[in-house]
């Protein structure tokens, strides 16, 4: 697949005209030209990263749907983007025939991606957040591309302010006892992610 090729939508969005229309809307949102990191390639990477963790989720379908929605609205406003994306899920998914409980769960998970903070035992959140953070464990070249793309999305921020803000984020992440909430996520990504974060912080 090329970097801009949209992943196949979840099966629950292919069974009705409303679902197919929503899948097309989401694909268009992820392909918006102002995006640099939060692109179709990021969506595909998150969906791919969910798969080795999916058996640990209570509702893998909700987790996959939350991946599709988690940055569906993206204006570069942390917190606000996730809230608007959650509202989009609440507005669109009922027409696709999803149970109300699953719609609420998708919206809840989307909101959690704003800070990747969740209660112990929240396995759906752990799987989604681990998949969203899997980029931190990318090989050096891919990690460097990720950091460049993040900088481009904040190109309106002066260099000194960006470095200070980014350094604060990196220190916060490195200060966590663990970056990944699932055992599989830690086995796959914890060591490499910490190496990448420490290296980026040193370069700043």
User: pLDDT tens for residues 84-126?
Assistant: 999 999 999 999 999 999 999 999 999 999 999 999 999 999 9
Distance (Å, whole) CA 126 – CA 183: 10
CB pairs under 8 A, 24+ apart, for 141-145?
Answer: 143/196, 143/200
Domains, in order of start, for the chain:
11-203 (1.10.1300.10)
Distance (Å, whole) CA 179 – CA 129: 10
Token pair recorded at residue 142: 């891919």
Residue 97: name the closest of 30, 25, 10, 7 by CA: 10
Q: Band of the pLDDT at 2, cuts 50, 70, 90?
A: very low
Residue 184: name the closest of 47, 53, 64 by CA: 53
Report which secondary-structure segment, H or E, holds 115: none
**Residue 74: burial class (beta carbons within 10 Å; 0-12, 13-18, 19+):** buried
Instruction: Say what angle helices 100-112 and 80-92 make with each other, to 10 degrees.
Output: 170
- pLDDT at residue 76, as a whole number: 84
**CA-CA-CA-CA dihedral for 111, 35, 48, 191, to nearest 10:** -80
Span 176-188, mean pLDDT? 97
Span 54-73, mean pLDDT? 98
Distance (Å, whole) CA 192 – CA 140: 10
Q: Give the predicted TM-score (pTM) of the model.
A: 0.94
Distance (Å, whole) CA 9 – CA 187: 28
DSSP annotation of 189 reads I
Residue 73 pLDDT > 80: yes
């Amino acid at each position: 697949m090329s970097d801009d090729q949209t992943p196949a939508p979840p099966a629950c969005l292919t069974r009705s005209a409303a679902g197919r229309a929503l899948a097309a809307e989401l694909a268009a949102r992820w392909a918006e030209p102002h995006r640099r990191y939060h692109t179709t390639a990021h969506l595909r990477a998150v969906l791919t990263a969910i798969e080795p963790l999916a058996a640990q989720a209570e509702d893998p379908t909700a987790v996959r749907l939350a991946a599709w929605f988690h940055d569906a609205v993206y204006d570069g406003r942390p917190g606000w983007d996730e809230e608007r994306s959650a509202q989009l899920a609440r507005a669109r998914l009922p027409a696709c025939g999803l149970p109300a409980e699953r719609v609420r769960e998708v919206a809840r998970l989307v909101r959690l991606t704003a800070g990747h903070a969740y209660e112990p035992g929240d396995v759906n959140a752990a799987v989604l957040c681990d998949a969203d953070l899997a980029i931190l464990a990318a090989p050096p070249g891919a990690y460097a591309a990720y950091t460049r793309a993040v900088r481009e999305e904040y190109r309106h921020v002066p260099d000194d302010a960006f470095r200070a803000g980014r350094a604060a984020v990196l220190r916060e992440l490195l200060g966590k006892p663990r970056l990944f909430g699932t055992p599989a996520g830690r086995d796959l990504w914890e060591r490499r992610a910490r190496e990448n974060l420490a290296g980026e912080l040193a370069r700043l």
